[in-house]
A = this chain, B = another copy of it.
């Protein structure tokens, strides 16, 4: 499988890049969402996502689902992809319709192709392990009616993620495989602590693999009202009517996550078998400036120092300062006697907060929206 040219399994990554979060304001804006930002190093989140799949899939087999605001940026950032594989959802409908559309597009001509659903805004530290885990996952997904999910070993009682409850181990080896008992969406604190203590729960990474046939079948079974609109869209693909059919039909689909729509019901033993492989490759979904700070320190990024400062700037003079994340490209930054701050400068804005408060940048965007400062959001 490592040699993709001679691989009998076709693997088609489907990258979900329609999100429009505010967690990285002021760097992220409506037309500059997190997935197209260069948050660490030199490549944007979506470029890193595609890069890390290059040993597993042919670029010609990669699909991207995004929105009109991001289309040009994404097309520009990913010149190696087929532009006809970069689709813009006419309206946001969460992940189930996006995944299902991919299945209905591929199923008619290549039902055995393994579709892998990937968020476009996560980072992975250990890319070798990522490849190894994905190779196992692809093989499992290619074999019969399996749905494969990647579960992240939890490190804290996080209430912002979904959880996967593991059942028995069904396969040994360097990548152990478990069957899945149950999915739980974002739990409360008490529940999250129970899950962490229990030891047989994983975070839901949002990465799923299944053959086009298995996914299409699951949709037909659990989301029957989605089938007609999505099949109409798939049928119009490649024709001059595509855009208008897409716009008219996609809006008819229920807005629902693939977890709720397909995985939850499937986990009740109804249909396909759900398997979980461990995403134990130092995964991080970079949910805040604080998470980015932690990641940059973990990978000892350029600009990080032994006092837990990360300063992305032209230069830095640091005096008695500790644990700060500073982004000010083009500036000489001087820190004196400050701790645990987050300061982020863009051309038009300057955010000054703390690691602890960095999750609250959404409140700023809400205020700016209320004040109709649209050029800042």
Residues of A within 8 A of B (CB): 25-26, 313-315, 317, 319-321, 324, 326, 328, 330-338, 341, 343, 345, 348-354, 356-358, 360-361, 363-364, 367-368, 373, 376
If the complex has contacts A343-B343, A364-B319, are A353 and B332 also in contact, measured as CB distance less than 8 A?
no
Known: A331-B348, A334-B361. 7 other contacts (CB 8 A): A317-B364, A331-B345, A333-B352, A334-B351, A334-B353, A336-B353, A343-B343
If the complex has contacts A345-B345, A360-B319, are A352 and B335 also in contact, measured as CB distance less than 8 A?
yes
Residues of B within 8 A of A353 (CB): 334-338
- A333:B350 contact, CB within 8 angstroms: yes
Residues of B within 8 A of A349 (CB): 331-334
Q: Is the interface of A mostly helix, strand, loop or mixed?
A: strand
Residue of B nearest to A368 (CB): B317
Residues of B within 8 A of A314 (CB): 348
Residues of B within 8 A of A330 (CB): 348
- B338:A373 contact, CB within 8 angstroms: no
Residues of B within 8 A of A368 (CB): 317, 332
Which of the residues B25, B338, B350, B358 comes within 8 Å of A328, measured between beta carbons?
A: B350
Residues of B within 8 A of A343 (CB): 343, 350, 352
- A357:B331 contact, CB within 8 angstroms: no
Which of the residues B313, B356, B364 comes within 8 Å of A350, measured between beta carbons?
A: B313
- B350:A336 contact, CB within 8 angstroms: no
The 6 closest A-B CB pairs, nearest first, are: A337-B357, A336-B353, A331-B350, A334-B364, A332-B349, A328-B350
Distance between Cα atoms of A368 and B335 in the complex (Å): 13
Q: For the complex formed, measure the closest distance between the CB of A30 and the CB atoms of chain B, giving whole angstroms.
A: 16
Residues of B within 8 A of A337 (CB): 353-354, 356-357, 360
Residues of B within 8 A of A324 (CB): 352
Residues of B within 8 A of A358 (CB): 336
* Subset of 29 A-B contacts with CB under 8 Å: A26-B332, A26-B334, A314-B348, A319-B360, A319-B364, A321-B352, A326-B350, A330-B348, A331-B348, A331-B350, A332-B349, A332-B368, A332-B373, A333-B349, A334-B349, A334-B361, A336-B353, A336-B354, A336-B357, A336-B360, A336-B361, A336-B363, A337-B353, A337-B354, A337-B356, A337-B357, A338-B352, A341-B352, A343-B343
Distance between Cα atoms of A349 and B326 in the complex (Å): 12
Distance between Cα atoms of A352 and B328 in the complex (Å): 11
Residues of B within 8 A of A331 (CB): 345, 348-350
If the complex has contacts A345-B345, A364-B319, A376-B332, are A338 and B350 also in contact, measured as CB distance less than 8 A?
no
Residues of B within 8 A of A354 (CB): 336-338
Residue of B nearest to A357 (CB): B337
Distance between Cα atoms of A333 and B336 in the complex (Å): 20
Residue of B nearest to A333 (CB): B350
Distance between Cα atoms of A317 and B206 in the complex (Å): 34
Q: For the complex formed, measure the closest distance between the CB of A359 and the CB atoms of chain B, giving whole angstroms.
A: 10
Distance between Cα atoms of A315 and B350 in the complex (Å): 10
Q: For the complex formed, measure the closest distance between the CB of A289 and the CB atoms of chain B, giving whole angstroms.
A: 11
Residues of B within 8 A of A335 (CB): 352-353
Residue of B nearest to A332 (CB): B349
- A348:B333 contact, CB within 8 angstroms: no
Distance between Cα atoms of A324 and B350 in the complex (Å): 14
> Quick one: which of A331, A332, A363 has the most chain B CB within 10 A?
A332
Q: For the complex formed, measure the closest distance between the CB of A169 and the CB atoms of chain B, giving whole angstroms.
A: 45
Distance between Cα atoms of A368 and B349 in the complex (Å): 27
